[in-house]
Copies of this chain bind each other. A is one copy, B any other.
């Protein structure tokens, strides 16, 4: 089968053997925002036409491709939900020559009955072992997922990634910021600040005054802000000392691991292939 994680800005495809072995992998900057006029079938043929021609006739898609802006909108599956529930709720997409199905996202309610949604992360979680515990999937909208009895019991979203990007691009804080790799000393300083008393909205102004006062170098201030936001997120999302599985790319994984450690917790990092494994597992249940 072919498994595809098709997000807002990225397209990642895997050719998968019957036992889930990854036989081929490719990625392209063909997220749903880069596909015009609903040309998703054409984009799929463009990226994976050779695999289809070679006989692959089952394609499983996850991510924002199942949103209102995607190919076919799939309804969210309410939590609690496990891998069998996902496999039973796939949505078929008409496509000549192959069976195409979409993995639905998940919905939940937070403690105050405000809605929560995710798309794509459910497939990454399906690539884990569904062991009970807490899973963190950082990003523009970081997801903190509680697994219980082999299913997703619920989850909570933090708007940290987009907040970081907006503060950097559209406020006076960003004017001082340089590019470049994360300055870990400045990141840790931001983490420490997040643990201080005081609200995030107050701590943010410190990015400016520490810069004006010369004790935070312009090249380090983006890393400090990153530590401040991730520290606030992790401090709110996990109990001190908890164990957390982190599903993230090579850039974010070590940063979240530092934040979890600063909170006295234990972080387990997973490989970034969780989505491929999840697609294989859901597909195996759907098509067997």
* Residues of chain A whose beta carbon lies under 8 Å from any beta carbon of chain B: 110-112, 114-117, 141, 156-160, 162-163, 165-167, 169-173, 193, 196-202, 204-206, 208-210, 212-213, 229, 232-233, 235-237
Contact = CB atoms under 8 A, between A and B. Distances in A.
Contact of A205 (B159, B198, B232): B159
Nearest to A212: B117
5 contacts: A110-B206, A112-B197, A115-B212, A159-B204, A165-B171
Contact of A233 (B160, B172, B201): B201
Contacts of A232: 199, 201
A232 B159 CA distance: 15
A155 B71 CA distance: 53
Contacts of A167: 163, 166
B171 A163 contact: yes
Nearest to A213: B115
Given A115-B210, A162-B171, A200 B197 contact: no
A65 B229 CA distance: 32
Contact of A158 (B116, B117, B163, B202): B202
For the complex formed by this chain, how many copies does it contain in all?
Answer: 2
A158 B112 contact: no
Given A115-B212, A116-B209, A198 B110 contact: yes
A285 B229 CA distance: 45
A197 to B, nearest CB: 6
A111 B197 contact: yes
B229 A201 contact: yes
B162 A209 contact: no
